[in-house]
Amino acid sequence: MSVHKKIPKKVTTHVLQKMKNDGEKISMLTAYDYSMARIIGDAGVDIILVGDSASNVMAGYETTLPITLDDMIYHASSVVRAVRLAGTRPLVVGDLPFGTYQGNTRKALRSAIRMMKEAGAHAVKLEGGKEVEDSISRILTAGVPVMGHLGLIPQSIFKFGTYTVRAKEDAEAEKLLEDALLLEKIGCFAIVLEKIPALLAKKVAETVKIPIIGIGAGPHVDGQVLVTHDMLGITKDFHPRFLRRYLNLYDDIKGAVNQYIADVKSGDFPNEKEQY
Ligand code: KIV
């Protein structure tokens, strides 16, 4: 009998491309800390995104704009440690936060290198198309894989004014398709499409050859991503149509904490077996 532990095949950008070519859907979830990354890595997710949604979910800011590169590196390094120590398969993608890559290719390259070197991420993600072409191209010169992000791009919330569905009008839909083709041409390995009509997402996924990961972009794409805290029901006041809640952990955790408080107050905890 073999005593060797089975080593899972690591997900790389090449594996993701093969998954698209073979018609195998890609699963992606967010994590910002060691414990959550252990669970979702052990469960077998393909990609862990250390999203700048940490700004909302972890830090309680209203938008994703305030989170810093230092914050993101802290979160990403915790996630990378979980994947490394447990030997799990996911590709870890670190979001570059607002202000760390736009309009300055040198700064973009420095930010991406910090994410790779200090956090140990396997790739970076950043938002936008033509406007950030030069930054993406410069990052790619360092051999850092880049995931694009089009459609609803939360770092530009003050430009658009709302978080409603993007690219419903022809002009915006055409620009989105052009941007997707551009991101593919310059060398992105995948693109996230957020909150756009399902038929447009289908067209993009059929037109570009790299994997398209959707969130609120319908089923005809190459993979799906959700914010883990939303799909587990840890966050409570966020109910977009695209969100499927698999658990209601907010209520479960609150109930457990209520019980703990009651047990402490009544003297029921700790009991005889729970002491030395
Ligand atoms: O920051 C994030 O979590 C994201 C996903 C919603 C795609 O960008």
Residue 133 belongs to domain with CATH number: 3.20.20.60
Residue 105 lies in a domain: yes
Q: What's the CA gap between 174 and 163, in Å, rounded?
A: 20
Mean pLDDT over all residues of the chain? 97
Assign 8 a pLDDT band (cuts: 50, 70, 90): confident
Query: Which residue bears the tokens 């005889």?
Result: 272
Check residue 48 and give left, alpha or beta (phi > 0: left; psi -120 to 50: alpha): beta
Co-location of 149 and 236 in the same domain: yes
Confirm whether 94 is domain-assigned: yes
Q: What pLDDT is stored for residue 4 in this prediction?
A: 58
- Structural domain includes residue 5: no
Q: What's CA 272's distance to the chain center, in Å? A: 45
* Atom 1 (ligand 1) nearest CA: 51
User: Is 4 a member of any domain?
Assistant: no
The DSSP output letter for 233 is: T
151 and 135 both lie in a single domain: yes
171/220 same-domain check: yes
One-letter identity of residue 130: K
pLDDT digits (tens, 9 = 90+) for 34-49: 999 999 999 999 999 9
β-strand pairing of 123-125 with 91-95: parallel
Kindly state whether residues 228 and 272 are assigned to the same domain.
Answer: no
The number of folded domains in the chain is 2
- DSSP reduced 3-state for 103: coil
Whether pLDDT at 6 is above 90 = no
Rounded to the nearest 10 degrees, the angle between the axes of helix 69-86 and helix 105-114 is 40
Tokens linked to 252: 């479960």
Rounded distance between C-alpha atoms, residue 166 and residue 244, angstroms: 20
Q: Do 140 and 171 belong to one domain?
A: yes
Over range 66-83, report the average pLDDT: 98
The answer, yes or no, to whether any atom of ligand 1 lies below 6 A from the CB of 216, is no
Residue 22 and residue 61 share a domain: yes
Per-residue model confidence as pLDDT tens digits over 77-116:
999 999 999 999 999 999 999 999 999 999 999 999 999 9
Of 75, 143, 50, 140, nearest to 101 by C-alpha is 140
Domain limits at 263?
A: 252-276
Q: Which of 169, 194, 206, 272 is catalytic?
A: 194
The pLDDT value recorded for residue 171 is: 98
Percent of the chain with pLDDT over 90: 96
Going by pLDDT thresholds of 50, 70 and 90, the confidence category of residue 1 is: low
Listed in sequence order, the residues at least 6 apart from 109 whose beta carbon sits closer than 8 Å to its beta carbon are 135, 138, 139, 141, 142
Whether residue 148 has its Cβ less than 6 Å from ligand 1: no
Query: Do 104 and 65 share a structural domain?
Result: yes
Cα 88 from Cα 7, distance rounded (Å): 8
- Separation of first and last alpha carbons in the chain: 41
- Do 259 and 134 lie in one domain? The reply is no
Å from CA of 86 to ligand 1 middle: 24
174 is catalytic: no
- Ligand 1 atom at minimum distance from 225 CA: 7
Both 19 and 84 in one domain: the answer is yes
- For residue 95, give the ligand 1 atom closest to its CA: 1
**Ligand 1 contact via 53 beta carbon (within 6 Å):** yes
pLDDT at residue 260 in the model: 98
Helix/strand/coil percentages in the chain, nearest 5: 45, 15, 40
Please write the tens of the pLDDT for every residue from 186-199: 999 999 999 999 99
Same domain, 270 and 233: no
